[in-house]
Structure 1
């Protein structure tokens, strides 16, 4: 059997059928199977996330906003401002290797005056695709997950100090 190995290695292509379309279909099936098995393996060890929790996250944020508003806490800015900040933060964190981009996120975070503001910003951000060197990296992530992935710890500490001074309970 080992004696036949060099001839198997030197053969051009292993043929399944005389029909070239069948060969192509089989090869594509094998590639797809290997890809799916790789995906399942990466998901099982936590390198790939499902986005199944996004609706629950959105619902939890909305419930938290309603609780805070029931306590009498009101948002400091109109809704459209939070959506604008969410877009700016997303674009800045996509370029998080640039120090000025992190400054943008910190400056936006400093505009938050209370817990409702932070929650409205998180609600406006929703879940967005994270990129690593220009390639999609896992499932879409929330604002707070993006803080952990894209901001340096010193910048998160700066945001946390600012929010703590304003008695905001959330941390970046």
Structure 2
């Protein structure tokens, strides 16, 4: 009898915790769910559970629009964990624009950039390669009034630890020639 009570109590606690986690995920904004899926942001729900929930029950038109009107693909690619690329692919497959700009700005005079232009700013070669593989448009000028390649050349300072954009310029140039 005691075993039944103990196992019943443990089972009840487990179901309560699982129910609370599921409820919490249903209330999350898509940005928070992305952080949870990537095991970032200090969220105490297992990242695999968040990712599974996001892929199977979210990523709908409402979530895609919410992300598109906010930080876009750039939000996902700013993550630290390698799973960010899997998350980005899933969103792109559901209709998120690979060239959609990040509408959040630190200052009102800041200009919106495409994810490829942001990769140039961050000098993030893996991100640039990923975006090009996903079909990012090299010719978009947007508010910066420069293509990603032109912007990379403008920011480039050879030999500088942070401003040497040689590798990203080479990748963009090679892709443009194809």
For the pair shown, the structure with the greater C-alpha radius of gyration is: 1
Comparing both chains, which one has the higher relative contact order based on Cα–Cα distances under 8 Å and sequence gaps of 6 or more?
A: 1
Fold agreement, TM-score > 0.5: no
Query: Which bin holds the TM-score, normalised by the shorter protein?
Result: under 0.3
Could you state the TM-score of these two structures normalised by the residue count of structure 1?
0.27
Could you state the TM-score of these two structures normalised by the residue count of structure 2?
0.27
